[in-house]
Amino acid sequence: MSSKSTTMSATNSKYRNFVLLALFAAIVLLLGFTPLGMIPLPFIKMTIIHIPVILGALLLGPKYGAILGSLFGLVSLISNTITPALTSFTFSPLIPLPGTANGTPLALVVCFLPRILVGIIPYYVYRAIQKVTHAKKEGSVVSLAVAGVSGALTNTIFVMALIFVLFRDAYAAAKGVPTDAVLGIVLGIVGANGVPEAIGAGILVAAIGKVLFKIAKY
């Protein structure tokens, strides 16, 4: 292949990646600011905002995945600031902590770090499963499903762990429970919300990812 052809191929690949990044970013915004981002289940509302972040990471790599994860975090920041809930102070520094007049910049850690990792960890999990299972083609259903599960669990576990570490006292005050009860609440949320969301992410990422890998001709 000539150097000119190689350059054209690299340029086309770059434009393609930017187009896909813009597409996934638009989906993140759509899901984040509309009811489409929540699927009602019998006991919980399952969020699926992380799905395009995971798929973007798998198709484009961890660098683009981190960008999409940052956008996910920004959506969460805006949402918790504009329409705050009881514990929105853990996601937005503009929401005062219980009993105070001010928020804290530590909320940005909870809001952004787990979401950025959602755009990074699934990529490496996917690659590891591909290698372990000796998958010959990209888009293995097993690899995609495990990557989807890992992405959802990354979001839930890191968010709740950071809330426990950084906001345990404030969280207890907001919930009206003793401080030593916060760990049980955190574990309960991980089990009740995190597990169903992880299963859902595994199914959706496997189903959608399989099609996307074929279209992208990976």
β-strands 38-40, 45-47: how paired? antiparallel
pLDDT at 203: 96
Q: In this structure, is residue 3 part of a structural domain?
A: no
User: Residues of 153-162 as b/e, b for ≥16 C-beta within 10 angstroms?
Assistant: bbbbbbbbeb
Which residue range is the domain that position 60 belongs to? 15-74+105-216
pLDDT digits (tens, 9 = 90+) for 21-79: 999 999 999 999 988 887 765 555 678 999 999 999 999 999 999 999 999 999 999 99
Q: In this structure, is residue 1 part of a structural domain?
A: no
Q: Which two tokens stand for residue 196?
A: 């169903």
Q: In this structure, is residue 144 part of a structural domain?
A: yes
pLDDT digits (tens, 9 = 90+) for 130-179: 999 888 788 899 999 999 999 999 999 999 999 999 999 999 999 999 99
Q: What is the pTM of this model?
A: 0.91
Q: In this structure, is residue 93 part of a structural domain?
A: no
pLDDT at 42: 55
Q: In this structure, is residue 81 part of a structural domain?
A: no
Q: What is the mean pLDDT of residues 178-198?
A: 94
pLDDT at 134: 85
Q: In this structure, is residue 10 part of a structural domain?
A: no
pLDDT band with cut points at 50, 70 and 90 for residue 215: confident
Residues 6+ apart with CB under 8 A from 201: 48, 50, 51, 54, 148, 149, 151, 152
Q: In this structure, is residue 48 part of a structural domain?
A: yes
pLDDT at 38: 76
Residues 6+ apart with CB under 8 A from 209: 55, 58, 59, 139, 144, 147, 148
Residue written as tokens 């993140």? 28
Q: Are 139 and 218 in contact (CB under 8 A)?
A: yes
Hey, CA dihedral for 32, 199, 187, 163, is it positive or negative?
A: negative
pLDDT at 199: 95
Our count of domains for the chain comes to 1
pLDDT at 160: 96
- 217 has a pLDDT exceeding 80: no
Residue written as tokens 């910049």? 105
pLDDT at 137: 83
Q: What is the mean pLDDT of residues 83-112?
A: 95
CATH code, 117: 1.10.1760.20
- 122 has a pLDDT exceeding 80: yes
Lowest mean pLDDT across 14-18, 22-26, 37-41, 192-196: 37-41
Q: In this structure, is residue 2 part of a structural domain?
A: no
